[in-house]
Chains A and B, each alone.
Chain A
Amino acid sequence: MELPAGFTYRPIQNGATDEYFLNMGPQHPSTHGVLRLVLRLDGENIIEIVPHLGYVHRGIEKMGENQTYLQNIHLTDRLDYLSAYSNNLALCLAIEEALEIGVPERGEYLRVMICELQRIQSHLLWWGVLGMDMGAVTSFLYGFKEREPITDIFEELCGARLTMNFFRPGGSAFDAPETFLPRVREVISSIRKAVDEFHTLLTHNVIFQERTKGIGVLSREKALAYGCSGAVLRGSGVDYDVRKNQPYSLYDQFDFSVPTGTTGDCFDRYLVRLEEMLQATNILEQAVRRFPGGPHRSKVKAQYKLPAGSYWSQVESARGLFGVYVVADGSAKPYRIKYRSPSFSNLQVLSELVIGHKIADLVAIIATLDLVIPDIDR
């Protein structure tokens, strides 16, 4: 019998009937959006899986070639809708680098604070969804409950709760309203309490630990070889964070640590993300204390024309290293624009991680890789 496209492991012996193929997705509760996986199963055990991409391919990179640089910022929100601000920032950084635009201090502080708020918000959603994938539906709503105040801040800031669009070359589109700092202070204390609660509800639960410890072990070497980033890479014990290693914006002026795991299993990735939320609150606390006055944006230009050449910028989004590569030809539109999305690389390890595990483990592994499919398909 011939194997379906993508399967390579070993051919099915003639007459063997104990193996079968199962199509998981694009409509499946735990593939989070429209990821499609084809599983090769022996009973409940996974022999091999093949991911199929492209169900939400919108051609954003191609579209970008016909848009000005400012219009391109709007397209970046639609990549990873949970890290819209980080994506905005990455493109802005590339434009600023090319045109040597400076950012006033208040603008830089706003950038750091909003990116950290968004990291917390994204991790809260991830935590809730992870619980739901494990069968604990209640955690889903607890995650959303804590996420709500942050989404409110975003709404007040830029008018959107999802696909937020705020950063511009040289600062941000608007200044922070008066209620911004008190609200952030409230979020800081509520998140610290919430993370404690999360530990009680899931982390210390025997069933949860049984389900995640030793499941989907990603070795340090493999994580590096596949180009993983974010919590997936740090869970495997690699101490790499763009904010620390190649600081952008004002991250070199803040005191925070980068949590790493030891074994690289689902539980480590889980702990790393929870700790990242606490570290984000540390950064926020320092930023709130030092938040300066002054303008939020340097002088606005009517048109941004990047000089011919290529530009690269990278940020640490909630999911990992997000990069933008711009090839400019001197006009107001990019010649070619390429996004390096963290989820795409993180997805590639999935087929290595699940082999030999059960269907239930596959769900746990997908959840701890924290994939956002529009970011993969673009």
Chain B
Amino acid sequence: MSVFPDKVLYPPNNPIGDLVRTLVPAPFSDVLNGGLAIFSLLALASLTPVVLIWLERKVAAHFQARLGPMRVGWHGTLQPVADGIKLMFKEILKPEGADTFLFFLAPILPATASFLVLTVLPFDHHLQVTDLNAGVLFVIAASGLSIFGVLLAGWSSNNKYSLLGGIRAGAQMISFEISLALLMLLIVLLSGTASLRGIVLAQQGTILDWWIFKFPLFGLVAFILFLISSTAELNRGPFDIVEAESELTGGFTTEYSGISFAMFFFAEFVNMFVAAALATTLFLGGFLAPQMGWGMLDRLLDAVPGFVWFFAKTYGVIFIYMWFRWTFPRLRVDQLMVFEWKVLLPMHLFLLAVAGFFITMEWIPL
């Protein structure tokens, strides 16, 4: 008897999972497999920000005609490690009059939320912790948790700048959550499944079978809208009104220092990775190789492991996020809300209607 039903503890035929299963008797192998999965996700979640912080600083630097970190390690590769050590040993300050429990609870929540989303992402054919049949719903629910962290941080800091940042965050993230949910719904409608692995498998074939191209023209529009909405959801520039350094000094993180600030920082970068990974999964064929329909080349591309494609596409999307941030000025609070409720939301509803129309007319090969 297995502790977990086979269907849930995915994947059953992962080579490492199979090896564990042959070596260890049944109930323990499942526990061991689950432990291994969580451990590897933890490793991913802690390494991703290290890479992304370095990448962000380098990308920003080259956009701005300078070099960026160059001193610590080769081309500054160890800079994030040095920063991390510095943050860990800094004193954690709590402002007078702050709500102690909430003040220290808040930094943990966003990191937890993004970690939860990682569990359902398909990194490769057989590299996924669990393939929920309502994976998309789980993603929406789990990523919604990160709002609490930001709101509580703004509220508990006993600082007007933090409070303003928290209020802005609440308004912004809840609004754009709706947009993102609608876009995910669009892909669910097109794929006919809410499982993230199922969505990737629905895009099998050549590069033209990815949802960005398979849903003619509207797919591309939906992808761009997804990029915009997720940038806003991530509170990154040009929608970084939550931090808005030049207005609110530090927004909700104004009063945080040391490791509790680092937790927010960490979560921000893991969130960016998660959002890019979702864009990859929903629109860019996830772990599938970009096949062109030419026999030789396709076999060559297929030989590359799926997770390489997954990470390559994800980092491509991340680069676009960074490109946004280092090019555009910031929107104002009310303009952002107008943009969401009067421009993006109607467009998303329209896209949904078009998708429904396409499906009933059977114009999309399923």
- Chain A residues near B (Cβ < 8 Å): 20, 22, 28-30, 44, 131-138, 141-142, 145, 201-202, 205, 207-208, 210-211, 358-361, 363
Contacts and interface: CB of A to CB of B under 8 A. Distances in A.
Contacts of B333: 44, 358, 360
A207 B329 contact: yes
A207 B335 CA distance: 9
Interface stretch (B132-140, B237-245, B268-276): B237-245
A24 to B, nearest CB: 9
B330 A136 contact: yes
A363 B244 CA distance: 11
B63 interface: yes
Nearest to A145: B65
Given A136-B330, A211-B332, A142 B160 contact: no
A19 to B, nearest CB: 12
Nearest to A201: B327
B362 interface: no
B196 to A, nearest CB: 33
A164 to B, nearest CB: 25
Contact of B330 (A22, A44, A141, A360): A360
12 contacts: A28-B249, A29-B245, A135-B246, A135-B329, A138-B60, A138-B64, A138-B327, A207-B329, A208-B329, A358-B333, A360-B244, A360-B247
Interface in B52-67: 60, 63-66
B328 interface: yes
A106 to B, nearest CB: 36
B246 A29 contact: yes
A20 B167 CA distance: 15
Contacts of B238: 135-136, 207
Contact of A134 (B64, B326, B329): B329
A4 to B, nearest CB: 14
B334 A363 contact: no
Contact of A138 (B63, B161, B246): B63
B246 A30 contact: yes
A20 B332 contact: no
Contacts of A131: 329
Interface in B288-343: 326-335
A191 B160 CA distance: 42
B164 interface: yes
A135 B64 CA distance: 14
Contacts of B161: 22
A142 B65 contact: yes
Interface residues of B, number: 28
Contact of A358 (B160, B249, B327, B334): B334
**Closest 10 A-B residue pairs measured CB to CB?**
A135-B330, A134-B329, A141-B64, A136-B329, A30-B246, A360-B332, A133-B246, A135-B329, A138-B326, A208-B329
B328 A359 contact: no
Given A44-B164, A211-B335, 5 more contacts: A22-B161, A132-B246, A135-B244, A136-B238, A205-B328
A359 B160 CA distance: 13
Nearest to A23: B160
Contacts of A205: 328-329
Contacts of B249: 28-29
Contacts of B246: 29-30, 132-135, 363
Contacts of B241: 360
A141 to B, nearest CB: 4
Contacts of B335: 210-211
Nearest to A361: B332
Given A29-B249, A145-B65, A363-B246, A134 B330 contact: yes
Nearest to B325: A137
Of listed A131, A132, A134, residue having the most chain B CB within 10 A: A134
Interface string B56-87: 00001001111000000000000000000000
Nearest to A140: B64
Contacts of B244: 135, 360
A205 B248 CA distance: 23
B327 A136 contact: yes
Nearest to A21: B160
B327 A142 contact: no
Nearest to B66: A141
Nearest to A135: B330
A141 B329 contact: no
A358 B237 CA distance: 19
A210 B327 CA distance: 16
Contacts of A210: 331-332, 335
A20 B164 CA distance: 12
Contact of A202 (B65, B245, B329, B330): B329
A202 B248 CA distance: 22
A370 to B, nearest CB: 15
A310 B3 CA distance: 97
Interface string B209-245: 0000000000000000000000000000110110011
A359 B248 CA distance: 9
Contacts of A137: 60, 64, 326
A305 B334 CA distance: 61
B170 to A, nearest CB: 13
Contacts of B330: 134-136, 207, 211, 360
A346 to B, nearest CB: 20
A343 to B, nearest CB: 19
Q: Counting chain A CB atoms within 10 Å of each CB, which of B60, B244, B246, B248 scores highest? A: B246
